[in-house]
Amino acid sequence: MGGFPELLAECTGFQWDAGNAEKNWRIHGVSQAESEQVFFNRPVVIAPDLGHSGAEARYAALGKTATGRRLSVVFTIRGTLVRVISARDMGWRDRRLNAAIEAAQ
């Protein structure tokens, strides 16, 4: 999936599916605004989600909200929009990976 950073750099906003937004809030307590903050705060780790990519490429982002909440966000890119599929608090594997990457920076 070469060229991914350039693809994300061309994005101009977010697209939300009402069902996904409601599910993220109901199940994980993550709002749309918190999900979007992950893309603007540094550091953020973004990688292809090869295990869940099917008809369209999916990606995973590990990052922080403005309040420091650590989230794992799965998304796809449609045109120039980031479409969030799911957002939840980082699990232990996510936190361990994120800590290792932050330490290497």
pLDDT digits (tens, 9 = 90+) for 49-75: 877 677 888 999 999 999 999 999 999
* Identity of residue 55: A
pLDDT at 1 over 60: no
So what CATH class is 4-104? alpha beta
Average pLDDT over residues 80-104: 88
Under 8 Å between Cβ of 63 and 73: yes
Under 8 Å between Cβ of 46 and 61: yes
Strand-pair partners of 77: 82
Q: What is the mean pLDDT of the chain?
A: 88
CA 101 remoteness from chain centre: 16
Backbone angles phi, psi at 12, to 5 degrees: -115, 0
Report the alpha-carbon distance of residue 58 to residue 27 in Å, rounded.
Answer: 21
